[in-house]
Structure 1
Amino acid sequence: MGELTGRTALVTGASRGIGRAIATRLAAKGATVIAHFGTDEEGATATVDEIGRAGGTAFAVGAELGVDGDVETLFAGVEAGLAGRPLDILVNNAAAPPAGPLGVTTRAEFDRLFAVNVRAPYFIVQRALPLLRDGGRIVTISSVATRMANPAQTSFAMTKGAVETMSMTLANELGARGITVNAVAPGATRTAANGPVFDTPGLAELIAGGTALGRLGGPDDVADVVAFLASDAARWITGQVVDASGGLFLGPRV
């Protein structure tokens, strides 16, 4: 029996990468996991199958985020799968990737980023609250882009700054129900999807050299932080942004 046995968790963007790692980690701790996917049904099925092979329980729910009716579609599947049970943990992980620097980002790309990365998490929380048990957990994935000046990620960083502010203010609002609300900010995290990017000669070494712990992160590094925040051990932590970057770009190394 794990420390999350008997609890339910919704993880958005759980078909691969960090989202899959979070879903499998929460399931390994005993939670029944709802693995959301936008378009990658095959990936979400693989996540559910991996959880099942390990002895856990999960089901997949599809809903493209950032479009009209997205939250309604998502929660129709969530509520059908929960069959009257409450929700204990909400992890807002799904996000659109950076759209490029100021000079090339289009209005449509900018609007898409905010629709997926800001509007969707906000209204997912709104819709989840009637289902969320008192003492529940809300965790939203942010990025170290909010504390670094990266011209290639300006609009993306803006979206992550927004959800960090959302987490802080909602923590203050929902504390009366014992619900904690936090954000987790990964740094350079190598996944199956972005692996080719880090295969660029010298890039992985460059980033690792600017990281206090001297290596790239992996999905499990982030998933462990989320699992901690979802646990009873983190009951006194709320309104915080937890940096899960291994100390990326903290300052000069001598």
Structure 2
Amino acid sequence: MERSGWPRLLPQGDAALVVELDDRIDRAVSERVTALADAMRRAAVPGVVELVPTFRSLLVHYDPLMLDFADIAGRARELLAGIAVAERRLRLVHMPACYDEELAPDLAEVAERTKLTPAEVVGLHGSVDYHVYMLGFLPGYPYMGDLPEPLRLPRLTTPRVRVPPRSIAIANAMTAVYPLESPGGWRLIGAVPIDLFDIGQEPPALLAPGDRVRFERVERARFDDLRAAFMAGAAKLAVEEVAA
């Protein structure tokens, strides 16, 4: 349901429109963003170049030689009026996850700070289906919520210079998986055996805004086997379609 004063349709330069649906990070708001993006893709509006969903808005890049701001804003309003979030179908991705201490350098500290055991931290992390709010920071980096309340800790005071690719991380109300080696300030509690970004694939990002992700614990030996299988192209993730 829309709150008073929303949505806001704003120009972003002379070739993009921002459709702001709210001013808060909320799963219902994110669902509307994703539903609008889906509706725009289905409408195949001539001149629309790219759609970029974020936590609370949709950025629409368009060709100014084919459309002007009034054209694309009017089309966005029409589509917003007709979207039905409840009717959407989405992907539930079953993501193997290993919380072995070698792959989880911050797990013991997270357990200490939350007054839980490492096993309880792992159990809580895998107890919910996470919503992919958006991709950002790195190619294919999924911001996923909502992390169970007991696990919500701030970022590290001093970020790491190098975070290994495929590391599972947590910070505040979010969890994520680093697609590539990079600096990072989130707490590392495990790893997944599959690459989240591959420029040779179409699409190159494994996850997309609106997906659901369920982390399913595997032991280290199984994790190593899966990593080898994914690298060889001999394994696939289990993905099912579910109602929004």
Q: TM class by shorter-chain length?
A: under 0.3
Instruction: State the TM-score, normalizing by the size of structure 1.
Output: 0.24
Larger strand percent: 2
Q: Bigger relative contact order, structure 1 or 2, given CA contacts below 8 A and separation 6+?
A: 2
The structure with more radius of gyration: 2
Larger helix percent: 1
